[in-house]
Amino acid sequence: MVERAGAEALGAASLRRAIARTPSLTAPAVVAVVGAGACVFVAMADPTTPAGVTPSCPTKALFGVTCPGCGTARMLYCLLRGDLVGAAHFNAVALLAVPLLLWSYLAWVWSKARRKPLSRWQDWRWSPVVVAGVLTLWFVVRLLPMEPFAALRV
């Protein structure tokens, strides 16, 4: 009887150690589910339809200014449909950010699963400065009233 209790305690302890060594992929799974849900919503809502289900940009509604994120939902809709030209038309910078975001997500999952850090672009020294510069430039260029920049407004 005592031996059995000791064996069960030993088995429980080894199970706890095995669980502690197993990487937790709960957070990446939640992010994947939320991202997939957002993609399904955008695909079904069709943000290219005026006065549709998706809300309009609050920055554009309040200030009448095309912000750097304007057109991102429509870009994602076109991207999900395989229309790269349409996606670039609605928000070229957001389209360029998609591979970077996928890289970050996959590096995060890899690091969690293998418990070894993998290089990510946002860890590079100049990444914050480059991202801020690109977004600022995109914001300014989209507001210029002359051609060819006026065509960037959505």
Question: Mean pLDDT for each 10-residue chunk of the chain (154 residues)?
Answer: 57 65 81 94 88 79 80 91 92 92 91 82 86 88 77 70
Tell me, what DSSP letter sits at residue 147?
A: T
pLDDT for the residue numbered 76? 93
Maximum CA extent, the chain: 88
* 11: amino acid identity, one letter: G
The contacts of residue 32 (CB under 8 Å, 6+ apart) are: 105
Domain boundaries, the chain: 26-152
Taking the model in full, what pTM does it have? 0.74
Give me the DSSP letters along 15-80: HHHHHHHS---HHHHHHHHHHHHHHHHHHHH-TTSTT-SSPPPHHHHHH----TTTTHHHHHHHHH
